[in-house]
Every structure is written in structure tokens, then in C-alpha cells.
Structure 1
Amino acid sequence: MTNRHDSTAEPPPGLDEPPAVPLEFAAFCELHRPRYLSYARVWLPDQTEAAGAVQQAFAEIAVHWRELLGSSNPTAHAWQILRGTVGEHTRRPGPDHPAADDDLAILHYVVGLAAPEIADVIGTDTASVAGRLRRTMLREASGW
């Protein structure tokens, strides 16, 4: 005879387990979470808020995951979702959010990513990142 009130009894499979996520999405999150978090911390110095913004971005990416995978550049679309989410958390209207090239400078000079890593994060090629970083540096230097 079994005791229905036995505290050592395990719940039926699946009740306490988180919902399964596609392996590709889990790998994407594992790869990009540290870099996304470093970027968010630049704009949101409170670590809890930065982590919340990144988690919110990943939740949005998860909602659109199948659609993103069918796009020509899933990583670039995911990056735009992250940028938008971080921008919402800064409580500044859109025009005050940095230009895309300014984000590259932040990823390079503040976060410390090399051009190939930045290209991986934002979904573009290394040559494009290097050229845009040079233009940004020249634009800033001419304003000094």
C-alpha cells in the first residue's frame, strides 16, 4: 500500500520542469547573454535592471524565434530587439538612443569586444564593423 501523503513522492514528470526550449534557442542565449548583458550594463548601471532588460529581450526573441530563424539574418534581428528593449529601460525617447555606429563604439571601446566578436553579436561581417568603427572614430575626432 502506498501513502498518498508521502512527502518523498515525486510529482508526475513535467509538472515542475520548465517548458522545453529549442536547442538552437538555448545555444543562442548561451552565446549572446554575456555580451548582451555587458552592453545593457553600459546603459543600465543597476545590474538587476540590466539583467531584467536582457531577460525581457530574450523573452521577446523567444516569442519570434521561428520567425527569426526564417529571416535572412536572425542575429541582426535579435540585436535590434535587444537595442529596443534596453532603450525602453533607459526611459529615454527613441531619438536619444544612440545611433547604431555609436553602439559599435560602445561594444568595442567600453565592453572590449574586437571587430569579429561585434560582428557575431550584431549579425554582420567583420569588415563592415571595422569600417564603421573607423568612421565613428573619425567623426568623433573631427568634433574635438
Structure 2
Amino acid sequence: MARMTTPPAPQGVPPRGKPGRRLGPILSGTGPAHRAWLQPLREAFYASGMTLGELHQRTGWPKSKLSELLRAAGRYPRWSFTRDVMTGLHWSGMSYEVVRLQWVQAAREANKRTAWITACLAQSGDSTLADSDAVPLDYYAFREMHQDHYTAYALAFLRSPVTAEKAVRDVFTLLLLLWPDALGSERLERYAWQLLRETVLERAPKDNGRPTLIEAAFDTLALKNSPDPMHQITESMTLFRAISHLPPRQLDVTVLKHLRGLTDTQIADEMGISLAAVRSTARHARRSLNALLYPQHHQGGTPR
């Protein structure tokens, strides 16, 4: 008489664990960067045979929150929460550094602010990476090359040296975590500049949704040399208000060129664009400003 054997579980079906509420699927609309770390984490949960109640006992997080994290429901989770679940599952499927990188990528995919991301990393002690011995030498060289000009750009919008320096530190912390992505991008400088721009403008004071440069009007060479300071202040404020209405690239080139005093070559190196693109953008910016300041002479509309 043949022995009866238990047929193997079909492929792709998670093994049955102990009785407990069945974990629902990952919600539709979850981005690919989020799924990149969440799907392996779910597989580790299934393989552990644990229930949400047992995972709660190991991590201290409520079962409802654990269920949300494992289904990508609710808000994007903080890094400390994600790390606690990894630890509770004794997950060794991917290295800590790889999961942290994927968490950062997914946070950016979820449009989380740089300040939020770096604050989450700081809670877990991951914001000190830029000072560790494991930092790549090419990252160090990049930071040394660009830090001063990044800070000058940030200062134009944030005005406080402390706030500007903090923003730039956060940029380089995030850039270090994303360094493999940055190196694989079309242009490293352009990738890093976008991080800087997002970080600075999300923290800059706003006027009708646009970054305000009004305070910078009180710190111009024209004002210092003007025989009529009050008239010059009014003129500068009008100009700087118009500058804040420029398209993104025109705004950046104008700030770097006229507020920070960088040469066209330096601007190209910082923004990761060609010298010809800098000069073309500067010309378009001048036309845009003329159209904004003297609309009666530009009935055809503001040039791009």
C-alpha cells in the first residue's frame, strides 16, 4: 500500500503560519521603490510563521500599524518603524544599507520632504554617516568641491547662515545614501543640484507659493552704493519679487549669477548643465524679467 504524502504548496503561495488575521495584499498604487523593500519584508514575515500579534510582542508596535506597514496602507512609514520590523523578523534577506537606500528612494517617491527624511534618519543614528570612515572618497571630493557654493545658494533664500548650513548638511546626508543612484545618473552634478534645490525651496519663506527673495534686496551692492537708499530698496524689492516668478532654471541661474556672483563656468559646474545652456538661460531670464517688470512693452507674453 503506497504511503500518502502531503503535496507541496503551490509556488507563489506563502506558507501557512499560526492562526491569526490574514495579511491583505499590498495596496494598488504603491510605487515601485516602495515595493522594492516591502515585498521582501512581507516574504520574510510569511517565512517566519509569526502572527501580527507575535510581531507586536517583538517590536512593541500595535498590530494595526504593523498591518498598515506590511500592506503599504496609510502614511509612508518612518525609518525607525521599518527598522524595528526588520529587527523583529531577524531579516537577513538584504543588507541594512541596501534596505535603508531603498527606504530613502521610496520616501522621495512618496514626495517626502528632505527635512522629514533626514529627521527620520537622525532618530535612528543614521544622519552621522557623512562623518564615518566608510564614506567613498569620490563623495568626499564632491562635497568639498560644491559645499561652499551650495551654501551660498541656500543663503540667498533662507537668509540665516545656520538654517542654510543645516539645509546643505541634509542635502549631503541624503546624497551619500543615494550615492549609487547619483553615480549612475546622467550627470552627477545635475542629480545633486536637484536635491539641493528641492531641499532649499521646501524650507524657503513663501509669498503666494513662490520663494521670497525680498530680504535679499536689503543686501545688494547697488543699495550699499546708492545715494538714495530708500528709492533703491523699493527698486530692488520690485526686481527681486519679479525674480521669484522666473521658471526654475532661470531662477537658479539668476540667483547664482547676480546674487552670488558666480561666473557662467562655475554655474555650469554647479548645476550640471552646459556653458551654452547657462548663457541661453541667462538671456531668457533677462527677457522674462523685462516682460514681468515692463508688461506694457511685451504684449506677446512672457518668454520661456
Higher relative contact order (CA 8 A, sep 6+): 1
- Corresponding residue for residue 261 of structure 2: 112
Residues 22-61 of structure 1 aligned to structure 2 (within 5 Å): 22-61=136-175
The size of the alignment, in residue pairs, is: 128
- Corresponding residue for residue 282 of structure 2: 133
Q: CA RMSD in A?
A: 1.9
8 A contact 2:190–2:271 mirrored in 1: yes
Identity value in percent = 31
Misfit runs of 4+, over 6 Å: none
Aligned letter for 1:40?
A
For residue 91 of structure 1, report the CA deviation from its aligned partner.
Answer: 5.1
- Is 1:80 the counterpart of 2:194? The answer is yes
Aligned letter for 1:125?
S
Q: Mind listing any 5+ residue stretches in structure 2 that lack a counterpart? A: 1-130, 212-243, 295-304
Aligned letter for 1:23?
L
Q: Mind listing any 5+ residue stretches in structure 1 that lack a counterpart? A: 1-16
Q: Which has the larger radius of gyration?
A: 2
For residue 38 of structure 1, report the CA deviation from its aligned partner.
Answer: 0.3
CA distance in 2 between partners of 1:48 and 1:25 (Å):
23
CA distance in 1 between partners of 2:194 and 2:276 (Å):
20
- Corresponding residue for residue 10 of structure 1: none
* TM-score, length basis structure 2: 0.40
8 A contact 2:154–2:168 mirrored in 1: yes
* TM-score, length basis structure 1: 0.82
CA distance in 2 between partners of 1:57 and 1:131 (Å):
28
